Amino acid sequence: MVSHLTSINPATGTILKEYPISSEKQIASAVKQAQQQFEVWRQTNFKQRAQLFKTISKTLRQHKEKLAALATQEMGKPISQSIAEVEKCAMTFDFYAKNGTAFLKDEIVETNARKSYVSFQPLGIVLAIMPWNFPYWQVFRAMAPALMAGNVLLLKHASNVSGCALAIADIMKKSGAPKGLFQTLLIPSAHVDRLITDDAISAITLTGSTEAGKKVASLAGAHIKKQVLELGGSDPYIILEDADLDLAAKVCVDGRLVNSGQSCVAAKRFVVVKAIRKEFEKRVVALMKSATFGDPFKTENKIGPLARVDLRNQLHQQVQESLSKGAQLLCGGYIPEGQGAFYPPSVLINVKKGMPAYDDELFGPVASLIEAKDEADAIRIANDTIYGLGAGIFSKNKKKAEDIARNQLQAGNCFVNSFVHSDPRLPFGGTKQSGYGRELSIFGIREFVNVKTVFIQ
């Protein structure tokens, strides 16, 4: 039986700390505190909530270097990206502090009643089940809209970033958040069912793999609980014949290597029309070869280690299987000597359906180049996936590219001449097996509310 959660530095393989898991008594106490606080917090007004949000934002910025260093230690993110992640969390709390009132104000509807309107009321306790790849951002982007709507939050974070999970709770405490508004529970994934099925939990938000999403959705659905699921992705980036190839190659490589390639919306499959495939390929390989990997605390390194050795080994196995089925390797594709879960920037060509590099999500710095006959074939290949989280398209004809992005690509986030990323001002989420529901913007804050009709005659 698991008694501790272990945090390991993926760059060195050394144990950072062991954390005792939360006991049944501690879990029950946390749920009770959350229930009690919900009855208080739901009565606060948006001005009061916004004031706390501004303090949280300020506290995050005050402690960003320390928080960033912890994230880099626990999951290997390059330090500059860790700092940027904390800053993004602060920005999101500023955003909801400014816009929460407008997003959730009553909406008058003209009917035959003397008065009728729609009101947005909080649901209760939201259980957030979060991954390790963005240990702060994933939590704060779920927390901000949920709390501004009047809910309270319980966090079950990924086991390998328990230090970050506790640091988030500490930030909330330092900011003066009332007891029970946000709580971190240190529990292994095998124990999360107990919370999902608890009658006190009103809703679940999960960011994770598609397989994890299926399990959570099945259990939550059996108990009629609202969920938002942001799951895996194998984002296609289409490069058309008239694309600016220098721009496309740079953006695609940057999008593939962000967070060492460990992002659900990282650029993963580069779908290139035949006429310009060789020229694009040459640029991509040069950029991938020039991207240095190593100690994530050294700013000259663009790529750190993967979060765990087993994840690195799984990625390598996917590459090897793709090669055994006919793909070709243009760079990378090996396990470096020495300590740490490192993997070099890698490029695969001749990638076909039936290979992991085509069908599956490769969570690491590996790019799959897929040749398309023409524009129509490129769109077909882009949509030929179980996933639908993000997609990109590169063309100098912006009107045509916009039409393809808007009307033909099957994804929740479609970007033209840019790599896919989240922004608190825009809704974020997927379709198909990349999940359902939306985070961020007005759409995210309205996910965990009771959309209530009030009719007065």
Taking CA atoms, 164 is separated from 23, 77, 131, 133, in Å, by 20, 13, 11, 11
Across the chain, what does the average pLDDT equal? 97
Tokens, residue 96? 């909801």
Query: By the 8 A CB rule, do 227 and 206 touch?
Result: yes
> How deeply is 169 buried, as exposed, middle or buried, from its count of CB atoms within 10 A (0-12, 13-18, 19+)?
middle
Catalytic residue among 74, 230, 361, 375: 230
Contact status, residue 245 vs residue 279, Cβ threshold 8 Å: yes
**Tens of pLDDT, residues 108-165:** 999 999 999 999 999 999 999 999 999 999 999 999 999 999 999 999 999 999 999 9
User: What is the Cα–Cα distance from 201 to 226, expressed in whole angstroms?
Assistant: 10
- pLDDT tens for residues 404-452? 999 999 999 999 999 999 999 999 999 999 999 999 999 999 999 999 9
CA distances to 75, 83, 128, 425 from 70, rounded to whole Å, are: 9, 10, 21, 28
Specify the 3-state DSSP secondary structure of 5: strand
End-to-end CA distance of the chain: 60
Given a cut of 80, is residue 2 above it in pLDDT?
A: no
Strand order in the sheet with 346-349: 328-331, 346-349, 366-372, 269-273, 236-239, 390-394, 413-416
Residue 372 dihedral angles phi and psi, to the nearest 5°: -115, 150
**For the purposes of burial, counting CB atoms within 10 Å of the CB of 309, is it exposed (0-12), middle (13-18) or buried (19 or more)?**
middle
- Indicate if the pLDDT at residue 403 is higher than 80: yes
Domain annotation for the chain: domains and CATH numbers: 4-231+432-456 (3.40.605.10), 236-416 (3.40.309.10)
Burial label, 29 (beta-carbon count in 10 A; 0-12, 13-18, 19+): middle
264 is catalytic: yes
Q: Are the C-beta atoms of residues 245 and 285 closer than 8 Å to each other?
A: no
Please say if 230 is a catalytic residue: yes
Stretch 200-214: mean pLDDT: 97
pLDDT of residue 1: 64
User: What value, to the nearest 5°, has the Cα angle with vertex 414 and ends 344 and 349?
Assistant: 35
DSSP 360: S
Strand partners, 293: 303
Given 89, 164, 252, 264, the catalytic residue: 264
